[in-house]
Amino acid sequence: MTTETTNSRRKESLRDWLLTDTPTSRRHAKLASAYKSWLRLRSNHMAMFGLGILVLLGFVAAFAPWLAPYDPYAQVLSDRLLPIGSEGHLLGTDSLGRDILSRLIYGSRITLYIVTLVALIAPVAGLMVGTIAGYAGGWTDTILMRITDIFLAFPKLVLALAFVAALGAGIENAVLAISLTAWPPYARLARAETLTIRSSDFISAIRLQGAGPVRIITRHIWPLCISSLIVRVTLDMAGIILTAAGLGFLGLGAQPPSPEWGAMISEGRRFLLDHWWVATIPGLAIFTVSLAFNLLGDGLRDVLDPKDGAS
């Protein structure tokens, strides 16, 4: 028996083990469920296209010092506003002679930094508020949901501008401001899920066994809310990127000379008619990444929340 045949049989046995309908342990069941979800996601070509773009974005951000052909901060005034493809500058230069491709590559780090922090802060805050409100009910639910309604009453960008104006310009303050405006939808979603779950028979059984509210919320309600939150977070990433770019465009996000894509568009708008590439290329980068998150979010919604995708 050759080595290739042995490896092929091992792969087939592993695949059969993961696709079984009768798992032998909790760990086996989780691995089988994850593998089946991956197979459903892989069959969605548009979702995989979006995932590929995001993987490429992560690769570019991780290896920016090796991929960028020039220093993104180096100003060469003699090379200012060079067109695409001229003199070794693949995407041209800006008004200060800085290489646009290099600034795009380093700007991907800022974009991922903002997206990651907001994705870690806003959903967690919304999950805590929503599950506490939904499980406790009464005055706790009323007070928390009215606070949520107040935040939802304002447009996200306007509210983020207000917070950044109060906190001061800067990328950290921009992240905090975006997070403060992004949590209410997650709170609403978590509350709706909790209201459905808390009346389930298994929650009643757990309560009869002596489990307290904290244990019930953290060990039994939170895990059931995670899949819906993941879908919502992925679909919201495009809006978060646009909000961050809007703050950068207005000079309230990452400060010069940081190669933030929104700030690059703001600088290039003065030359839009004669030197269109200065503002258009970072705009296309924002569009591409936002589209990738939307495509991936649609695929994850079909996999993790089929009832929502069917509706």
What would the two tokens of residue 272 be? 């839009």
Q: Report whether 103 contacts 72 (CB < 8 A).
A: yes
Q: What is the pLDDT, as a whole number, of residue 6?
A: 59
Q: What is the pLDDT, as a whole number, of residue 3?
A: 60
**72-79: average pLDDT:** 88
In percent, how much of the chain has pLDDT > 90? 31
Q: How do residues 247-290 score in pLDDT, each as one tens digit?
A: 888 888 888 888 989 989 988 888 888 889 899 999 999 999 99
Domain 44-310 indexed as CATH 1.10.3720.10? yes
Q: Report whether 242 contacts 251 (CB < 8 A).
A: no
Q: What is the pLDDT, as a whole number, of residue 307?
A: 53
Q: Report whether 126 contacts 186 (CB < 8 A).
A: yes
Residue 292 clears pLDDT 70, i.e. is over it: yes
Q: What is the pLDDT, as a whole number, of residue 311?
A: 39
Look at 3-17, 110-124, 166-180 and tell me which has the smallest mean pLDDT: 3-17
Residue 145 clears pLDDT 70, i.e. is over it: yes
Q: Report whether 183 contacts 123 (CB < 8 A).
A: yes
* Separation CA 112–CA 107 (nearest Å): 9
Q: What is the pLDDT, as a whole number, of residue 124?
A: 92
Q: How do residues 23-61 score in pLDDT, each as one tens digit?
A: 777 777 777 777 788 888 888 899 999 999 999 999 999
The secondary structure of 163-179 as a DSSP string is: HHHHH-SSHHHHHHHHH
* Separation CA 16–CA 23 (nearest Å): 11
Q: How do residues 187-227 score in pLDDT, each as one tens digit?
A: 999 999 898 888 888 888 888 888 888 888 888 888 888 88
Domain boundaries, the chain: 44-310
What would the two tokens of residue 195 be? 């209201």
Longest alpha-carbon distance in the chain: 77
